[in-house]
């Protein structure tokens, strides 16, 4: 039995969520006893593959490098993953991806093509086929058991401490990428650049709500505090809906899932 982790990356380096996802794969591996392989699907992605090879506990890195994989379109990544899963010699029993925008885009398509149920947003592993996941906005925990031959899983990254980014020495195997499916086209991407820590991985967060009254007050009141604490800045849904800040700041059920050591709500 082997576990396949689909890495989130920017072609040059791994995203932090991948390390948490590998940690979840380790937790599954304690029950199935299999190796962990990491798939890096991208273009000019040797840097990300080399980084994945250094991750503690990874036995092999699979590098699929092609222009049609540059933007991470779900259709093309899925077409590259399916032959791997259907290869009996590889014997992948679990396909694991982070429950980020990237993972949530790809995993459902893989599950549908395999005709299996996706297990979403897991926070704990009880056995090889049994997992815990939050429901009702985190007010209850569901224990989910799957009898599907291949488990397709997304991981709530805040539920697992990241593995070490260094210490591994996995081999990198190059794969042929599937041809461009031609049913989706990448148009553009606007990336928000922040001088502060990213919300989902921040250890300290300063967050503002409706009571601040305006975007000007949000900036005036919260930025000095966040600067002092070295904190990320977040906001409630009400503050985002009111236009105080962009929606990337939103924390909560309809925003970003966070797990800081200190959360200051104003």
Give me the pLDDT at residue 36, please. 97
Q: Which phi and psi angles does 76 have, rounded to 5°?
A: -80, -35
Spell out the residues 6+ positions from residue 83 whose beta carbon is closer than 8 angstroms to its own.
178
pLDDT band at 13 (very low <50, low <70, confident <90, very high): very high
Do the beta carbons of residue 36 and residue 20 sit within 8 Å? Answer: no
Give me the pLDDT at residue 65, please. 97
pLDDT band at 255 (very low <50, low <70, confident <90, very high): confident
Dist. CA 35–CA 91, nearest whole Å: 10
| Tens-digit pLDDT profile for residues 40-75 | 999 999 999 999 999 999 999 999 999 999 999 999
Give me the pLDDT at residue 242, please. 95
Spell out the residues 6+ positions from residue 107 whose beta carbon is closer than 8 angstroms to its own.
6, 95, 97, 118, 120, 152, 153, 154
pLDDT band at 34 (very low <50, low <70, confident <90, very high): confident
Handedness of CA 214, 216, 219, 224 (dihedral sign): negative
Spell out the residues 6+ positions from residue 87 whose beta carbon is closer than 8 angstroms to its own.
none
Q: Is 71 helix (H, G, I), strand (E, B) or coil?
A: coil
Domains and CATH numbers, the chain: 2-175 (3.40.50.620), 199-265 (3.40.50.1220)
Give me the pLDDT at residue 208, please. 96
- What does pTM read for this prediction? 0.87
| Tens-digit pLDDT profile for residues 207-226 | 999 999 999 999 999 999 99
| Tens-digit pLDDT profile for residues 184-211 | 999 998 876 778 888 888 999 999 999 9
Dist. CA 16–CA 162, nearest whole Å: 8
Dihedral, 26, 20, 85, 81 alpha carbons, nearest 10: -160
Q: Looking at residues 106-127, what average pLDDT do you find?
A: 97
């Amino acid at each position: 039995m082997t576990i396949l982790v689909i890495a989130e990356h920017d072609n040059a380096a791994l995203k932090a969520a991948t390390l948490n996802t590998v940690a979840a794969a380790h937790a599954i591996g304690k029950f199935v006893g299999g190796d962990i392989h990491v798939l890096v699907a991208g273009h000019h992605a040797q840097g990300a593959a080399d980084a994945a090879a250094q991750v503690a506990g990874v036995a092999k890195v699979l590098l699929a490098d092609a222009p049609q994989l540059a933007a991470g379109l779900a259709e093309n990544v899925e077409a590259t993953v399916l032959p791997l899963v259907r290869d009996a010699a590889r014997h992948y029993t679990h396909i694991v991806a982070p429950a980020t925008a990237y993972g949530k885009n790809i995993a459902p398509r893989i599950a549908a093509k395999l005709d299996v149920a996706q297990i979403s947003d897991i926070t704990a592993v009880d056995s090889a086929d049994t997992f815990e996941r939050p429901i009702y906005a985190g007010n209850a925990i569901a224990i989910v058991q799957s009898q599907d031959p291949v488990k397709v899983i997304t991981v709530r990254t805040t539920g697992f401490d990241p593995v070490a980014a260094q210490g591994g020495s996995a081999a990198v195997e190059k794969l042929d990428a599937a041809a461009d499916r031609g049913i989706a086209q990448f148009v553009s991407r606007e990336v928000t650049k922040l001088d502060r820590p990213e919300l989902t991985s921040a250890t300290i967060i300063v967050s503002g709500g409706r009571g601040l009254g305006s975007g000007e007050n949000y900036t005036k009141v919260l930025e000095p505090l966040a600067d002092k604490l070295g904190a990320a800045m977040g906001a409630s849904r009400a503050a985002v809906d009111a236009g105080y800040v962009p929606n990337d700041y939103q924390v909560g059920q309809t925003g970003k899932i966070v797990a800081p050591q200190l959360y200051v709500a104003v």
